[in-house]
Amino acid sequence: MTYLPVTVLSSLDPSHSVFVGEEGVLLYMRLQGLEEEVYRLEHYEHDTLCWLRPWNELVSRGRWVLQGPEYFLFRFQAGGDSDAIGRFTWVNDPGVPKGCLREKLKID
């Protein structure tokens, strides 16, 4: 699987880094840089992608499964002065109901 530098997105906290990559025409994301935390992204609506998997798969990976539906959605947005996707919002903390904006890292 290829994780292109132009698709690396993260937060300030490395333990919540999210890497988005592509394999053919499919998109995947990897949490915390771990190979065992790779999930396929599927179109949900508009510019929103979903990484929800069946309950049995999430439990077998040791994932906590009591999050609300927003936890499994990434809402992508154009960033800066460009129409290119450069950030997304992820509701990964119930204390922040509007979600946390993740910006694309600039890699030289």
The pLDDT tens digits for 20-47 are: 777 777 888 877 777 788 888 899 999 8
Task: Determine contact, residues 19/33, Cβ cutoff 8 Å.
Answer: yes
Average pLDDT, the chain: 75
CATH architecture of the domain 5-104 equals Beta Barrel (2.40)
Which tokens go with 105?
């890292």
Res. 106: pLDDT tops 70: no
The pLDDT tens digits for 1-13 are: 443 333 445 555 5
Rounded to 5 degrees, what angle do the CA atoms 22, 56, 19 make?
25
Report the distance separating Cα 33 and Cα 83, nearest Å: 27
Radius of gyration of the chain (CA): 13
Question: What secondary structure letter does DSSP report for 2?
Answer: B
Residue in 21, 24, 27, 72 with CA at minimum distance from that of residue 50: 72
> So what's the pLDDT on residue 13?
54
